[in-house]
Amino acid sequence: MQRHTLADGLCFAEGPRWRDGKLWFSDMHAGQVMTCNLAGQIETVVEVAGLPSGLGWLPDGQLLIVSMKDRRVLRYDGQRLQEHADLADLAGCDCNDMVVDALGRAYVGHFGFDVNEGRPFAHAELILVSPEGEPSVVARELKFPNGSVITDGGRTLVVCETFASRLSAFDIAADGSLGPRRDWAVVTGTAPDGCCLDAEGAIWFASPLSREVVRVREGGEVCARIDLGRMGIACQLGGPEGRHLFILSSGSTLPAMCVEKRDARIEVCEVDVPGAGSP
């Protein structure tokens, strides 16, 4: 697939979402939520001192932002940034990606352990935040829950477990709680990170350790792979017809290196199957 660089010189781009004709994303280690249009023009939306990650929207249009270090979900109405939910008592380590459903319910993952400091592995929980900002644990014993999508008309949540090389599925109950975990796809040799859903029900996910972006169907059939030659962090389908695949990648992992080198970039290519579902 032919791809070109849309934007570069970023610290660490994460959490891409397509909305209002722009790609929204978090430049995590720069502490900024930003947008980028198809001409590559970047604008800063809001600054987040606790490092922004996952993004989503409430039904009234307010932006939800995961604030990683202080383990909160923030709410931004275009003028004021305020706390939506405090997850510190439920998340044992930095929070990361998030998906928000049509009702405004947010599903948030966390690291489980300090990756950057090389701490021993620990499982993590998945946290549900109600539209009113009430948090609760809805899944446990996950191996670094990360990028997520909601599919099947809002009935199924699929979560990338980065350190399990798998995508896990959960049935979503009427109250937002989740049923038992089941394998959606196992892709050996990958580390699934940020992801997005397409109109055929397949999922594109970025894999930093195998330096690629992968399209996979439920059951584990790999349909496509894009070799990046650098760490794939996240991806998102968008554009006028939903066929632009935005790929966020980085050459650095440690925060200090990300800030110093600013070698994260956003690339884009066109695919045959448009995006669908949430995000």
| Per-residue model confidence as pLDDT tens digits over 190-215 | 999 999 999 999 999 999 999 999 99
Nearest of 129, 156, 155, 159 to residue 143 by alpha carbon: 159
Percent of the chain exceeding pLDDT 90 equals 92
* pLDDT(118) > 70: no
Nearest of 158, 206, 214 to residue 183 by alpha carbon: 158
| Per-residue model confidence as pLDDT tens digits over 254-273 | 888 999 999 999 999 999 99
pTM (2 d.p.): 0.96
Q: Edge-to-edge strand order for the sheet containing 203-207? A: 195-197, 203-207, 212-216, 222-227
* CATH code for the structural domain at 11-270: 2.120.10.30
